Amino acid sequence: MKAYLKDDGLLLEEPLPPVESDGHRLFLNFGCVNVTVSTGGAGSAVSESPVIKFKDILWAQPCKTGIHNELEISYVRKLGDRLVACTSVLTVYSLDSEPQKREGTEDTLCNNNSATKVSDESTIFLSEKVLERSYPESEPGRSIMVIINPHSGQGKANKIYETKVEPILKAAQCKITVARTAYSGNASDIAENMNIDKYDMILCASGDGIPHEVINGIYRREDRARAFDKLIITQTPSGSGNAMSLSCLGTLEPSHATLELLKAATVRNDLMAVCTQDADVKLSFLSQTYGLIAQADIGTEFMRWVGQERFLLGVCYQVLSKSKYPCRIAVKYIARTKTELSQYYKKHLNDLSDFSPLSEEDFKLKYADKFIGLEDAADLSLLPDWEPLDEGVCSNMGIFYSGKMPYISKDSNFFPAALPNDGSIDVVVTDVRSGISKTVDGLLSLDKGLHVWKDDVAHIKVEAFRVIPLPGPNDRNFISVDGENFKLRPFQVEILKGIMKTVMSGGCYTETGFLEQTKD
């Protein structure tokens, strides 16, 4: 089949055959859009031909036939709500040398007499040209360590990877190594001991627990600076929580996420260091929470078989029971009012990633030595520029939620002002004294991120904070870090700027709508 190089893709002379799967037939409606062209003379009939977008091309290589300009093109097409990998053999022509248009006629695109083969270019060079246009922000054919948690997604992670992710990676000629976790913490061990020189990327085919383990495994390495410099960490959604994929790739569909992670721009993302008084330090990429959200998440672990609905059920129970979670909190403010936060957001919205090589100095914690080994966790004498949160609010704490990525789940745009590498942690706080109706109103606004504008919701940006849980009416309270259970004890969190490399569609977080709501 003939195809013509266009600015946005390959213009095909004929429609592609339909995709067939499980009795469903799909005609061209993804990656191939209808383009009107003319066959030449004035008043001639108009035909329609599809375009394979460069965004959807996974690989291009010369055919084994050796025919000049004949390429084997792998690309994605849509089948239902997912993408499937397809391959076509195309003889590719260029429009660069089209003859001058005749007066009163349209450009002739599909007439072999007027479109010429790429002059004096080898077929290999032509395939490289197609790949270059197909990967403008990334590199084709990456070497990927895939880590699968077979128990993620109600035990469906293996099937999801094998049917929706792996075929696209293989069609993109990625060099793949697959490891399946056998125990809790296995992904950390893999990341800590792997030969980083063999890989460009770690792909977590899981929920958010495996990225958390991977990041901490790399953190334990003696060469952690070089490892974080070398490896991109990303996710295809396969668990009950898939915040990394949603926040960075804009999708919860595994095949769409696979295409995005292949094509998306590399970005430096801040991480957070979570410290305890006994010198235990863990890294967090997503969030930390105490109060209602932690109870709804960790407190419903026994209901994982329900899927994501378990979290909603947990929230409803906590709200209706008017539960409160007393604590003491101190913070190092960056923005304390919503006006200040809006201004900070606008200032840093377009910050570019700094890809200077990391050093051990970048992992040095600024405030940990003021907390580790401290007899009284409430002692702020060594932190004169920190401020305690209002005691009344802390005694009646409903939600304390801090995070670095905007989307926690499909309908939870919890941190709409989060930015990848602005050096801040977003914090959201609610007080149970505001009442059930206002709490419910705020929770119902989570999908659009409008909850942070409610008068009874505190929304701040901080450089660091400390939380001291206090005894309360609940028999058992929880702390959650990246959705994982964390021992109930005082903890302190501070930002580690630009440590993790990941990929993001468009080079930024998924749109949250926060800019339209900002206050001057």
Give CA–CA dist 220/187, Å, rounded.
12
- 346 and 244 within one domain: no
Alpha-carbon distance of 461 to 335, in angstroms, equals: 5
Stated pTM of the model:
0.88
Measure Cα distances from 90 to 4, 10, 61, 62 in Å.
9, 9, 10, 10
**DSSP one-letter string for 140-202:** SS-EEEEEE-TTHHHHTHHHHIIIIIHHHHHHTT-EEEEEE--STTHHHHHHHHS-GGG-SEE
CATH number at residue 324: 2.60.200.40
Question: Range of 48's domain?
Answer: 2-134
Same domain, 310 and 377: yes
CB 341 within 8 Å of CB 459: yes
**Which pLDDT score is estimated for 475?**
64
List C-alpha distances in Å: 449 to 308, 309, 410, 463, 511. 19, 20, 12, 22, 11
* Alpha-carbon span 62 to 71, nearest angstrom: 4
**H-type alpha helices, 172-282:** 186-193, 209-219, 224-230, 243-249, 254-263
Residue 423 maps to a domain: yes
Domain membership flag for residue 268: no
Q: Measured on CA atoms in the order 506, 187, 179, 207, is the torsion positive or negative?
A: negative
Angle subtended by helix axes 186-193 and 209-219, to nearest 10: 40
Nearest Cα to Cα of residue 503 among 249, 251, 212, 256: 249
19 and 149 both lie in a single domain: no
The two beta strands, 175-180 and 143-148, are parallel
User: Is 208 one of the annotated active-site residues of the chain?
Assistant: yes
Is 381 contained in some domain? yes
Structure confidence at residue 454 (pLDDT)? 93
Same domain, 299 and 443: yes
Residues 220 and 159 grouped into a single domain? yes
Q: Residue 513: inside a domain, yes or no? A: no
The pLDDT of residue 302 is 55
- Asked whether residue 511 is domain-assigned, the answer is no
If you search the block for the tokens 């792998």, which residue do you land on? 74
Residue 124 has a CB neighbour count (10 Å cut-off) of: 11
Residue where the block lists tokens 């005749």: 102
Whether 500 is covered by a domain: the verdict is: no
**Residue 173 belongs to a domain with what CATH number?**
3.40.50.10330
Spatial CB neighbours of 2, under 8 Å, sequence gap ≥ 6: 12, 13, 14, 90, 91, 93, 110, 112
Q: Please indicate, yes or no, whether residues 329 and 454 belong to a single structural domain of this protein.
A: yes
Q: What is the DSSP string of 356-370?
A: SPP-GGGG--SSGGG
Q: State the Cα–Cα distance between residues 185 and 111, nearest whole angstrom.
A: 61
CB 405 within 8 Å of CB 247: yes
∠ Cα 449 452 457 (to 5°): 145
Distance between CA atoms of residues 76 and 256, nearest Å: 10
Which of these, 483, 479, 460, 478, lies nearest to 409 by C-alpha position?
483
Active-site position among 56, 200, 208, 482: 208
Same domain? 319 vs 380: yes
- Angle subtended at Cα 155 by Cα 153 and Cα 161, rounded to the nearest 5 degrees: 70
Residues 237 and 293 in one domain: no
At 194, list the tokens. Answer: 């792997």
Shared domain check, 286 and 234:
no
221 shares its domain with 310: no
- Residues 161, 19 share a domain: no
**Averaged in consecutive runs of 10 residues, what is the pLDDT profile of the chain (520 residues)?**
92 80 41 39 45 96 89 94 94 62 37 40 87 97 98 88 98 98 97 98 96 98 98 95 96 98 98 92 97 79 59 68 89 97 96 95 96 90 95 95 95 96 97 86 88 94 97 81 92 98 98 88
From 191, 365, 360, 358, select the one nearest 275 (Cα to Cα). Answer: 365
Residues 103 and 230 in one domain: no
Contact between 22 and 10 (Cβ < 8 Å): no
Q: What is the number of structural domains in the chain? A: 3
Distance CA 47, CA 237 (A): 40
Q: Give the C-alpha separation, 308 to 237, whole Å.
A: 13
Name the DSSP letter for residue 350.
T
pLDDT of residue 28: 40
- Coil/strand/helix, residue 340: helix
Q: How far apart are CA 60 and CA 52, in angstroms?
A: 12
- Per the domain annotation, does 514 fall within a domain? no
Contact (CB, 8 A) for 22 and 68:
no
The predicted pLDDT at position 110 comes to 36
Closest CA to 246 of 259, 238, 233, 237: 237
Q: Per the domain annotation, does 72 fall within a domain?
A: yes
- Token digits of residue 189: 């061990």
